[in-house]
Amino acid sequence: MEVATVAEGKVSLEAIHLEDIRLAASKMTGANRRAFQAEMALKYCSGSARRAEDVFGWSRQAVQLGLDEKRTGIVCLGHHAFCCGAKLWEKKHPEVAQALWELAESHAQQDPTFRTTLSFTRLTADEAIKQLRAQGFADDVLPSRSGMSEVLNRNGYRLRPVLKAKPQKKVPETDAIFANVRERDRDCQDEAVMRLSMDCKATVNIGDYSRGGKTRGDHRAADHDMGCEEKHTPFGVVNEDSGSLHLSFGSSAKTSDFIIDSLYAWWERQAPEECARVTHIQIKADNGPESNGRRTQFLKRMVEFADHIGKSIRLLYYPPYHSKYNPVERCWGILEKHWNGAKLTDTQTMLEWAKTMTWKGVHPVVELSRTVYEKGVTVAKNAMQAVESRLERNPLLPKWDILIRPACRV
């Protein structure tokens, strides 16, 4: 067997081991490579950079620098570390990037299985470039086709795989509803407008139950979750512009009153200067039975909420079977991925896990509601006429776009 030796030292390495060490060093760069070379020099060459050069074929100067770094604890970064690397495209061209995010958001949907927190988008790189050009951006500020793909993927947007995700039903107004949402978003560039997205998530079972995922701790859970006695309904409201997220966990039924009470709790958490700045609130919601544009109790409470805060509120609804396009759905994806593998054995554990998730780098505000809500509350026909008189429905999309102005205060 071929053996490499160095007469002045105690090196005796088989050739195959020498090649492995050289290969390992070649996979490293900078300070990591020098640290590895120094370790090998100390182990096999008595700490001699010259011998390491003879045995391994490394630069004597690089090995000596690695030895000096190890001895002093001071790592030399070099000019390269400070000057290399161009700025990310989205940092160099923030205005163009913002236009791209708006395009991607208008096409995005959350994976309904929550298997990934990435947004799926129908935009191709070519189509994104084409639409940005149509908005007046010059070619010299747009990335190449491959660069555009990298930008979209890096920021959480990727082309959808072909899945069984096509809605089984589609109301005739679907395309018009999405076009209207995009138009309202374009009209909401004023700082006095706050854009929100809200929705309830599936009920969370409390107990020794598996939520999927993996853990390094206790990995044994109950073999079924039938007969669960404690459950909580999460409600979330996210500010689309600031990224702030408010989560309310209700221990009672998912009702219109629970949703509106959670909005009151969210509003009380807003900074006074933020409340003073805002004149108009836009809320995106799905077409769920507790909050749709025909739910009498929800509309009555929403009118009262508008009067209470003194702000105009525009309700924008997504069509049936398209709730995954609602921006807050991505927050649920993050939460589900965050606590997968954990056993939510009690309410406090659930709340603590929710508090430690991050959405756009910030932890959410998390609250628990113990209020008991009655199901099936409706508003009498006569009383509803007064409520309806306060609703300014879009004549083309009366169930999907509703404006509520606050009552004049005397």
C-alpha dihedral sign at 15, 16, 17, 21: positive
Higher-pLDDT residue of 12, 343 = 343
The pLDDT value recorded for residue 138 is 92
The pLDDT value recorded for residue 72 is 87
Q: Which residues contact 271 (CB under 8 A, 6 or more apart)?
A: none
**pLDDT tens digits, one per residue of 163-190:** 555 566 678 899 999 999 999 998 887 7
Whole-number average pLDDT of the chain: 84
pLDDT at 313 over 90: yes
Q: State pTM to two decimals.
A: 0.62
Helix 30-44, helix 49-56: angle, nearest 10: 100
Distance (Å, whole) CA 396 – CA 125:
33
Q: 49-63, 171-185, 192-206, 225-239: lowest mean pLDDT where?
A: 225-239
Q: Which residues contact 223 (CB under 8 A, 6 or more apart)?
A: none
pLDDT at 288 over 60: yes
The pLDDT value recorded for residue 153 is 84
The pLDDT value recorded for residue 161 is 63
pLDDT at 4 over 80: no
Which tokens hold the place of 347? 């309410």
The pLDDT value recorded for residue 5 is 47
Which tokens hold the place of 309? 């805060």
What type of residue sits at position 194? M
3-state secondary structure of 345: coil
Q: What is the CATH number of domain 174-404?
A: 3.30.420.10
Domain chopping of the chain, boundaries: 3-83, 89-159, 174-404
The pLDDT value recorded for residue 336 is 87
The pLDDT value recorded for residue 163 is 56
**pLDDT tens digits, one per residue of 107-162:** 666 555 555 555 655 678 888 899 899 999 999 899 988 889 888 888 877 765 65
The pLDDT value recorded for residue 164 is 55
pLDDT at 310 over 90: yes
- Comparing CA positions, the residue from 160, 101, 174 lying closest to residue 135 is 101
* Antiparallel, parallel or unpaired: β 391-393 and 401-404: antiparallel
Alpha-helical segments (H) within 45-173: 49-56, 60-72, 78-83, 89-92, 94-107, 125-134, 145-154
pLDDT at 58 over 70: yes
Cα(first)–Cα(last) distance of the chain, in Å?
99
C-alpha dihedral sign at 170, 172, 173, 179: positive
> What is the band of 224 on the pLDDT scale with cuts at 50, 70, 90?
low
Top-ranked range on mean pLDDT: pick from 94-108, 207-221, 379-393: 379-393
Strand ranges for 153-254 from DSSP E: 157-159, 193-200, 204-206, 230-239, 245-250
**pLDDT tens digits, one per residue of 227-271:** 667 889 999 999 998 899 999 999 988 999 999 999 999 999 999
**pLDDT tens digits, one per residue of 86-115:** 688 988 899 999 999 888 877 666 555 555
The pLDDT value recorded for residue 27 is 80
Q: 21-25, 82-86, 342-346: lowest mean pLDDT where?
A: 82-86
